[in-house]
Copies of this chain bind each other. A is one copy, B any other.
Amino acid sequence: MAIEQAAGPRVISVTKNLLVKNAEAAARNREAFRCRGLYVVNVLSSPGSGKTALLQATLPRLRVRAAVVVGDLATDNDARRLHGTGAPVVQITTGNLCHLEADMVQKACAEIDLAGVGLLFIENVGNLVCPASYDLGEDFRVVLMAVTEGEDKPRKYPKMFKTAGAVVVSKTDLAAAAGFDRAAALESIRQIAPQAEVLEASARTGDGMAAWCTFLEARVSSAPTG
């Protein structure tokens, strides 16, 4: 038995106003990013899918200088973890807000040294729902999906996966222990997000990291500038 439930019009109209204002701020971000030749990647997933671990393993391998803006409700744990890579990092703590918005990213960028930086990662709040609706002015969205989370995540959170330019299947070192059904997961991604490049990586063992970094570098170097 299933009940379909839509958000009431009251909620929708308020959300629309917020989204219109956010879209304006995102457009300003996008213009500013392009002007300074900055390629911007919005990194999204459930809590605990390994966004920070992926970035920790990515930053030392990249042949382009990168910086990170990282969002969390509370703590600067992730910024401290990323600080060790030597990359410029700024943490946004959102309080109880479940996603980053474009104006927060704009403020964070004013606080960070972007000299020589060609790639900016925005590590969003861990949440497979709300951040999908908020454009931050990024060039590209990456959605992580850990092998421990269940193969049907794209089907259950379609909006997020439909906006992904790439899906990274993360924590592949745990695939056997978790009984991960790779074929089912890839099929679920293909069905919901046929537009997305699919990569598989383990930040812990390094498997797949070279391909992921090459992919990112290619995106950065093919981006239009000016």
Q: Is the CB of A97 within 8 A of B5?
A: yes
The count of chain A contact residues (Cβ–Cβ below 8 Å) is 62
CA distance A54 to B204 in the complex (A): 27
Q: Is the CB of A126 within 8 A of B126?
A: no
CB-nearest residue of chain B to A178: B174
Chain B interface: which of A26-34, A35-43, A155-163, A211-219? A155-163
CA distance A90 to B1 in the complex (A): 5
Q: Is the CB of A92 within 8 A of B129?
A: no
Q: Is the CB of B128 within 8 A of A47?
A: yes
CA distance A220 to B85 in the complex (A): 50
Chain B interface: which of A56-64, A72-80, A115-123, A193-201? A72-80
CB-nearest residue of chain B to A11: B18
Which of B1, B148, B152, B153 lies in contact with A146, CB distance below 8 A?
B148
Q: Is the CB of B7 within 8 A of A97?
A: yes
Interface residue? A207 (CB, 8 A): no
Interface residue? A183 (CB, 8 A): no
- Ranked 7 nearest A-B pairs via Cβ: A48-B149, A98-B129, A177-B177, A148-B148, A2-B91, A46-B47, A1-B90
Interface residues of A (CB under 8 A from B): 1-7, 10-11, 14, 18, 46-49, 72-77, 79, 89-98, 104, 107-108, 111-112, 125-130, 133, 146, 148-150, 152-153, 155-159, 171, 173-174, 177-179, 204
